[in-house]
């Protein structure tokens, strides 16, 4: 049984080829069965910086330059972003993949980062 997300009252859609999934329309995306609400940049700025939020032009510049992760989506003329997104300081990010830690943590590299380093070394050795 699948609940319709568009109708004002839930409707059951039968004979679907996929297993039963309950979908509730939330105005966002559905990722792995969970709905993610997107908020405007202005709302995100107020959530992240409640005492003194950046201006809307600064928030738009951050969105265009890729300083917010995960990246905001442009919906019409306004950007929408996941409320849990965070700001990436461009002065702290290293251009070398071996030193880059997206959340600024120190210590052992993640398994994904180790695989990326190993693949980069393998490619470089082929061209050397």
What pLDDT shows up at residue 88? Answer: 86
Between CA 80 and CA 102 the distance in angstroms is 21
Task: Check which CATH number belongs to the domain holding 73 and give it.
Answer: 1.10.1660.20
- What are the tens digits of pLDDT across the range 19-32? 444 444 444 444 44
Count other Cβ atoms within 10 Å, centred on residue 85.
19
User: How many residues can be counted in the chain?
Assistant: 128
Q: Tell me, yes or no, if the pTM score tops 0.85.
A: no
User: Are 102 and 72 part of one and the same domain?
Assistant: no
Tell me the residue range of the domain where 98 lies. 94-128
User: Are 46 and 88 part of one and the same domain?
Assistant: yes
> Percent of the chain, pLDDT > 90?
34
User: Are 123 and 104 part of one and the same domain?
Assistant: yes
User: Are 70 and 109 part of one and the same domain?
Assistant: no
Work out the angle between the directed axes of helices 56-65 and 41-48 (0-180°, nearest 10): 100
Tokens of residue 71, six digits = 């990246």
pLDDT band at residue 1, thresholds of 50, 70 and 90?
very low
- What are the tens digits of pLDDT across the range 48-86? 999 999 999 999 999 998 899 889 999 999 999 999 998
């Amino acid at each position: 049984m699948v609940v319709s997300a568009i109708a004002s009252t839930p409707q059951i859609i039968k004979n679907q080829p996929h297993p039963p999934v309950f979908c509730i329309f939330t105005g966002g995306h559905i990722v792995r069965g969970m709905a993610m609400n997107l908020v405007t940049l202005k709302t995100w700025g107020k959530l992240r910086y409640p005492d003194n939020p950046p201006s809307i032009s600064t928030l738009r510049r951050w969105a265009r330059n890729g300083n917010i992760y995960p990246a905001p989506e442009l919906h019409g003329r306004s950007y929408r972003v996941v409320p849990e997104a965070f700001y990436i300081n461009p002065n702290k990010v290293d251009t070398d993949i071996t030193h880059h830690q997206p959340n600024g943590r120190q210590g052992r590299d993640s398994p994904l980062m180790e695989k990326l380093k190993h693949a980069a070394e393998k490619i470089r050795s082929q061209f050397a």
